[in-house]
A and B are shown apart, each in its own frame.
Chain A
Amino acid sequence: MHSNQHTQVQSISQKWTQAIINNEFEQLKHLMADTFKFYPAHSEEETANPNSLINYYQCLAGHNKLHCYERNWYTNNSASIEFTIQFEAVSLLGMELLTFDNNGKITKCEILAQTPKAVAELRKLFNDGND
């Protein structure tokens, strides 16, 4: 390698975060592989439906709780993007772990987070949205 691959991973990760920051969530679909899967931090759900991920970001944007992106780390085929979400009493620290295929398409977005109280706040946000 793979430095080209590494550069590609960095560049696509930047497009990913830009699309989210700009509320252009449909753009995310262009970055996903056909086999894309989404694993959110606040539920047990594991879904192959790209709309599920788009709904996730739309819900956060609807509550003015968009990610505040911080730092990035990479391997040749993955990127981890640190973010925080501020709730009234607690702050959520999270990571979007993106996995790429050889064509530079994203096959997985796994969201990991802490603390338990902050994750419960996140879950509440989505439950309230579904009421």
Chain B
Amino acid sequence: MHSLDLNKIGQQWIDAAAHKRQFKVLSMLDKSVILNPPFMEERVSGMANVCGIFLAFSGLTTNFHYGRILHNDHPNQNRELILEFKTDIEGKTMHAADFIKLNDKGQIIEMKVVARSPEAVKALGKAAHNMPFLLKLRISASKALINFYLKFRS
């Protein structure tokens, strides 16, 4: 198993997310990626659905920024990294971290998000449930485009 440069991959993801480079984000996701958002009990799977959650997240929160990149040099953990982030939702600050698992190509196959405080997580869940119509529309359009992109890519 070849070694991945986890710091570099983490930084690439942060840059792509910060500059909203959607194609770069897509290229860093495995087609069957799974996401466990902190405000949902269920996991979300597939590139289009996962990107839908990212878009909702980005549309509903403000001041989103990544912090530390954590990894472990142990060979058994060369496919995992942690990205810390903070964001605001309805005046509450959410502090969170992504547990990321990568495939051999360095693409993300799984992302589990842990967070605090409970009030901020609850506010995000409520906001996602009552999402503005225009954001819903934007997400549906993006999901359709991603599905088209996947068809084209395959």
Whole-angstrom distance from the CB of B79 to the nearest CB of chain A? 12
- Interface with B: A24-32, A55-63, A91-99, which one? A91-99
Q: Contact flags (1/0) for B81-124 with A, using CB distance below 8 Å?
A: 11010000000000111010000000000001111111101100
Number of A-B contacts (CB under 8 A): 85
Q: Which chain B residues lie closer than 8 Å to A41 at the CB level?
A: 114, 116-118
Q: Is the interface of B mostly helix, strand, loop or mixed?
A: strand
Given known A-B contacts A73-B77, A73-B80, A80-B82, A113 and B68 have beta carbons under 8 A apart:
no
Quick check: A116 and B121 within 8 Å, CB to CB?
A: yes
Given known A-B contacts A74-B72, A80-B82, A112 and B118 have beta carbons under 8 A apart:
no
Whole-angstrom distance from the CB of A92 to the nearest CB of chain B? 9
Quick check: B114 and A95 within 8 Å, CB to CB?
A: yes
**B-side interface size class:** 20 to 34
Quick check: A112 and B68 within 8 Å, CB to CB?
A: no
Q: Which of B82, B112, B116 contacts A73 (CB 8 A)?
A: B82
- Tell whether B38 is near chain A: CB-to-CB under 8 Å: yes
Quick check: A71 and B122 within 8 Å, CB to CB?
A: no
Quick check: B72 and A71 within 8 Å, CB to CB?
A: yes
Q: Which chain B residues lie closer than 8 Å to A82 at the CB level?
A: 99
**Residue ranges of B at the interface with A (Cβ–Cβ < 8 Å):** 36, 38-41, 68-72, 77, 80-82, 84, 95-97, 99, 112-119, 121-122, 125
